[in-house]
Amino acid sequence: MLVLITYDVNTETAAGKARLRKVAKQCVNYGRRVQNSVFECIVDNAQCVRLKALLVDIIDEEVDSLRFYYLGNKYQTKVESIGVERGKAVDDVLIL
């Protein structure tokens, strides 16, 4: 399923800046960045639960926020993009 993850991490302190980097790093491990604090991740249910738990453990719920948008398996009809695309599509084939 496609999950859109957005986050806002307070970076007024060094600890906040570190949290921001950790959140971004975990999101990169599961998907692709489409905007500064927005990631598209194609994950199964177990991966989604794991990623959500990782991110919740990183953030400070008093000053940071996370949002998860569950777009499902038929997401192609639910996503419209205009303008510059960042990187490869999350479901494109990647050959290493």
Q: H/E element holding 58?
A: helix 45-58
Q: Give the pLDDT confidence score for residue 32 in this predicted structure.
A: 92
Q: Give the pLDDT confidence score for residue 92 in this predicted structure.
A: 62
DSSP 17-54: HHHHHHHHHHHHHHEEEEETTEEEEE--HHHHHHHHHH
- Condensed to tens digits (0 to 9), the pLDDT of residues 26-84 reads 999 999 999 999 999 999 999 999 999 999 999 999 999 999 999 888 777 777 777 77
Residue 93 has pLDDT above 60, yes or no: no
Residue 3 has pLDDT above 90, yes or no: yes
Q: Give the pLDDT confidence score for residue 86 in this predicted structure.
A: 65
